[in-house]
Amino acid sequence: MFETLSPVLIAAAVVGGYLLGSIPFGVIATRLGGAGDVRNIGSGNIGATNVLRTGRKDLAAITLLGDGGKGAVAVFIAWLLTRHSGPQAQATLTALAGGSAFLGHLFPVWLKFKGGKGVATFFGTLLAAAWPVGVAAGATWIAMAFLFRISSLAALTAAALAPIYVFLLDRPYPIAVMALFMGVLIYIRHKDNIGRLLKGQEPKIGKKKDTA
């Protein structure tokens, strides 16, 4: 697997992916859009859901596209760099780049390693690395959100099933490792949401979350 990839290429994918993922689109969008610092609003999260609490749907859309797009761009660049390599080497490098971008979003160097929960970046990365898997995970989110009206539950379900979709859709196993890696981190970042879900206190989509 790794023996067909040069150390320089691996380092470039990991470091470049991380730096791309570290771009805090939520912070940039709210500041440039005149909505203040999203970290001082609502839950303090830098993702699109919290940006929406500013009342600016345009800024939330920019954040959503940016957070999803940076994972996709990292994967695409890795794919280009390995377009003349074998499929296993290509899958490995794209998985490394995508996983690193996801890690960058969760722990961005520019924000003292305090980032978002990674759902948009998760979907963007999956769609670019293995679009059938991304579509299946996205459909899972939509179905769960429609049935239960709880965004976090939909995201957690999609994250849990994504590695399974990789195998069911016969995608390379490095993509499964990447999906599992992202899924585990999504569960860790959603620990508070999981606690509220278990207590039946997680707010539904469209309902404002109670704040102190």
- Is the Cβ–Cβ distance between 97 and 14 less than 8 Å? yes
Please give the Cα distance from 155 to 153 (Å, whole number): 5
Domain that holds residue 77: 7-199
Predicted TM-score (pTM) of the model is 0.93
Determine, yes or no, domain membership for 137: yes
Determine, yes or no, domain membership for 139: yes
Write the pLDDT tens digit of every residue in 116-152.
999 999 999 999 999 999 999 999 999 999 999 999 9
Q: What does the pLDDT read at residue 42?
A: 86
Please give the Cα distance from 16 to 193 (Å, whole number): 31
Please give the Cα distance from 67 to 201 (Å, whole number): 27
Give the mean pLDDT of 19-36.
97
The model's confidence at residue 43, banded by pLDDT at 50, 70 and 90, is: confident
Determine, yes or no, domain membership for 51: yes
Q: What does the pLDDT read at residue 206?
A: 67
Q: What does the pLDDT read at residue 4?
A: 80
Determine, yes or no, domain membership for 148: yes
Determine, yes or no, domain membership for 90: yes
CA atoms within 13 Å, Cβ hemisphere of 70: 29
24, 25, 28, 30 alpha-carbon torsion, rounded to 10°: -120
Q: What does the pLDDT read at residue 156?
A: 98
**Domain count along the chain:** 1
Determine, yes or no, domain membership for 95: yes
Determine, yes or no, domain membership for 209: no
Write the pLDDT tens digit of every residue in 48-102.
989 998 999 999 999 999 999 999 999 999 999 999 889 999 999 999 999 999 9
The model's confidence at residue 172, banded by pLDDT at 50, 70 and 90, is: very high
Determine, yes or no, domain membership for 24: yes
- Is the Cβ–Cβ distance between 75 and 128 less than 8 Å? yes
